[in-house]
């Protein structure tokens, strides 16, 4: 059987190893002392807490299907029902149901919500009567395209917080094609976007995301187990060299390994470093992907605190509000586990182009101050944890798809080497799994 080395033991690398089972002899090399990458479940005040990703996108099949295939079907949970809430214009305000990435098909649903000012709402209503801006052949930013249709306020206060929750990105740089391509295509070149959203076939009524009881870290462990691959942690790959039609993979701690093929399942910046001498054009393209530094502050409050939290499972914050926190999740309520334990809330901080404070104490204080300002009085936390994700989220800036195609094309003259991960087909877990399947195919 062909020997394949998968570099990176995050969900992308693990899904790649899993999809190779029975077809190749796979070895996963992970630099960290644990697998999972951004799927990391720790313990806070005695309960499991996801410190990175906490939910699986369920509107596309890959993550849920993989969880079921590796034996976690009975552990998948729907979140508690509740609206998407925005902390905007001075209060927590629920987005009316039926929105698509924050855009309501019928603007009248926003009346009385306070989500937009009167002029902002009036501008949104004009979408169906104003001539539609051209759908450019070049990739444009989400803001450039949507401002012409919906008005800037709707972009900043409805669309940006939802996209920010996924990409931590800037709407003025985020690629329309990569982030909202299918939504933009709905309206076509001349039609109304709102009318197109109204005409869409109704989506089946089911949860948009699902969780894994006990945390998403269990998904990484289960995929690793089911893959049958050799998994080596604490092994950092330092260089790749071609050896005829195969590969020699140098590591910091385990010498040099040989393989018939390599799957590079590391973040784009790490892939760029490993490819620098071998495929400079690919390295240049990958190295040009910007990344956002993000952090998660998890706070465990005394049991019973949950009753005083506002309705819903948390809130998103538009960047124009100028707050430190970009999203908050009432984890214990959202996933209803473990019963009777502390009330765990997590705050996400960090946006592309911004720098996070260096002190963890300062991050925690910022998170707590914003949570109290948004959600009302909260007791002193029993325990807190700061988890930093430096360069944690790749930015799908305009031109991203072309850039990544250039990286892939520059690898065709090498022995088999493919790329996957959060910079390729989308940042979410499901998209990472899809990129792993593409890579191993």
Ligand X SMILES: Cc1cc2nc3c(=O)[nH]c(=O)nc-3n(C[C@H](O)[C@H](O)[C@H](O)COP(=O)(O)OP(=O)(O)OC[C@H]3O[C@@H](n4cnc5c(N)ncnc54)[C@H](O)[C@@H]3O)c2cc1C
Rank residues 171 and 220 by Cβ distance to ligand X and give the closer one: 220
Stretch 334-363 residues interacting with ligand X (CB under 6 A): none
Of the chain, the end-to-end C-alpha distance in Å amounts to: 16
Rank residues 126 and 258 by Cβ distance to ligand X and give the closer one: 258
Q: Single out the segment in contact with ligand X by CB under 6 A; choices: 5-13, 137-145, 195-203, 360-368.
A: 5-13
Report the residue from 25, 32, 260, 306 that binds ligand X according to the rule CB under 6 A: 32
Neighbour count for residue 376 (Cβ, 10 Å): 11
Number of residues that bind ligand X (CB under 6 A): 36
For the CB of residue 18, give the shortest distance to ligand X in the complex, in Å: 12
Rank residues 113 and 438 by Cβ distance to ligand X and give the closer one: 438
Is residue 422 involved in binding ligand X (CB under 6 A)? Answer: yes
For the CB of residue 402, give the shortest distance to ligand X in the complex, in Å: 21
Q: What is the DSSP string of 271-320?
A: HHHHHTTT-HHHHHHHHT--EEEEEEEEEEEPTTGGGGSPSSSEEE--GG
Is residue 48 involved in binding ligand X (CB under 6 A)? Answer: no
What strands lie across the sheet with 246-251, from one edge to the other? 237-243, 246-251, 256-259
Distance CA 16, CA 10 (A): 10
Distance CA 425, CA 438 (A): 9
- How many Cα atoms within 13 Å fall on the side-chain side of residue 328? 30
Q: At what angle do helices 280-287 and 400-409 cross, to 10 degrees?
A: 160
Stretch 272-331 residues interacting with ligand X (CB under 6 A): 294, 296
Stretch 49-108 residues interacting with ligand X (CB under 6 A): 52-55, 57
Rank residues 264 and 343 by Cβ distance to ligand X and give the closer one: 264
Q: Which residues contact 414 (CB under 8 A, 6 or more apart)?
A: 242, 278, 279
Rank residues 128 and 232 by Cβ distance to ligand X and give the closer one: 232
Q: Single out the segment in contact with ligand X by CB under 6 A; choices: 1-9, 103-111, 308-316, 367-375.
A: 1-9
Strand partners, 241: 248
Alpha-carbon separation of residue 297 from 10, 300, 429 (angstroms): 21, 10, 21
Stretch 236-255 residues interacting with ligand X (CB under 6 A): 236-237
For the CB of residue 98, give the shortest distance to ligand X in the complex, in Å: 22
Q: Per-residue x/- mask for ligand X, residues 378 to 417, rule CB under 6 A? A: -----------x--xx------------------------
Stretch 164-223 residues interacting with ligand X (CB under 6 A): none
Q: Which residues contact 204 (CB under 8 A, 6 or more apart)?
A: none
Rank residues 266 and 417 by Cβ distance to ligand X and give the closer one: 266
* In contact, 300 and 71? CB cutoff 8 Å: no
Report the residue from 267, 318, 342, 381 that binds ligand X according to the rule CB under 6 A: 267
For the CB of residue 91, give the shortest distance to ligand X in the complex, in Å: 25
Rank residues 88 and 387 by Cβ distance to ligand X and give the closer one: 387
Is residue 152 involved in binding ligand X (CB under 6 A)? Answer: no
Distance CA 115, CA 316 (A): 12
Report the residue from 4, 5, 6, 13 that binds ligand X according to the rule CB under 6 A: 13
Distance CA 79, CA 312 (A): 10
- How many Cα atoms within 13 Å fall on the side-chain side of residue 111? 6
**Would you mind telling me the total number of residues written for the chain in this entry?**
441
- Residues in contact with ligand X by the rule CB under 6 A: 7-13, 29-32, 37-39, 52-55, 57, 236-237, 265-267, 270, 294, 296, 389, 392-393, 421-422, 427-429, 432
């Amino acid at each position: 059987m062909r020997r394949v080395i998968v570099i990176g033991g995050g969900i992308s690398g693990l899904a790649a190893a899993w999809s190779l089972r029975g077809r190749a002899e796979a070895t996963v090399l992970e630099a960290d002392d644990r697998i999972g990458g951004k799927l990391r479940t720790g313990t806070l005040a005695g309960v499991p807490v996801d410190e990175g990703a906490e939910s699986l996108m369920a509107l596309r099949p890959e993550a849920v299907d993989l969880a079921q295939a590796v034996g976690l079907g009975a552990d998948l949970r729907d979140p508690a029902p509740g609206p998407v809430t925005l902390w905007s214009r001075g209060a927590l305000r629920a987005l009316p149901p039926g929105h698509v990435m924050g855009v309501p098909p019928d603007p009248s649903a926003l009346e009385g919500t306070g989500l937009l000012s009167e002029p902002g709402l009036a501008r949104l209503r004009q979408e169906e009567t104003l001539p539609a801006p051209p759908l450019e052949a070049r990739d444009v930013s989400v803001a450039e395209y949507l401002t012409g249709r919906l008005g800037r306020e709707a972009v900043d206060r409805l669309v940006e917080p939802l996209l920010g929750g996924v990409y931590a990105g800037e709407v003025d740089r985020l690629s329309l094609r990569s982030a909202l391509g299918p939504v933009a295509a709905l309206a076509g070149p001349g039609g109304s976007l709102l009318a197109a959203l109204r005409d869409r076939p109704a989506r089946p009524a089911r949860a948009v995301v699902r969780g894994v009881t006990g945390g998403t870290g269990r998904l990484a462990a289960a995929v690793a187990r089911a893959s049958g691959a050799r998994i080596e942690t604490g092994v950092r790959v330092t260089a790749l060299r071609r050896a005829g039609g195969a590969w020699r993979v140098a590591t910091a701690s385990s010498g040099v390994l040989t393989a018939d093929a390599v799957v590079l399942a590391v973040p784009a910046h790490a892939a760029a470093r490993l490819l620098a001498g071998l495929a400079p054009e690919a390295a240049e393209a990958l190295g040009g992907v910007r990344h956002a530094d993000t952090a998660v502050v998890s706070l465990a409050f005394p049991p019973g605190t949950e009753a005083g939290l506002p309705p819903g499972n948390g809130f998103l914050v538009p960047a124009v509000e100028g707050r430190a926190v970009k999203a908050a999740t009432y984890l214990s309520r959202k996933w209803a586990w473990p019963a009777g334990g502390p009330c765990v809330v997590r705050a996400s901080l960090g946006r592309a182009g911004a720098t996070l404070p260096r002190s963890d104490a300062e991050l925690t204080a910022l998170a707590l101050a914003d949570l109290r300002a948004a959600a009302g009085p909260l007791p002193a936390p029993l325990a807190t944890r700061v988890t930093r994700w430096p360069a944690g989220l790749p930015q799908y800036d305009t031109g991203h798809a072309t850039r990544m195609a250039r990286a892939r094309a520059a690898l065709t003259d090498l022995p088999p080497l493919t790329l996957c991960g959060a910079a390729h087909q989308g940042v979410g877990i499901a998209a990472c799994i899809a990129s792993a399947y593409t890579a191993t195919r």
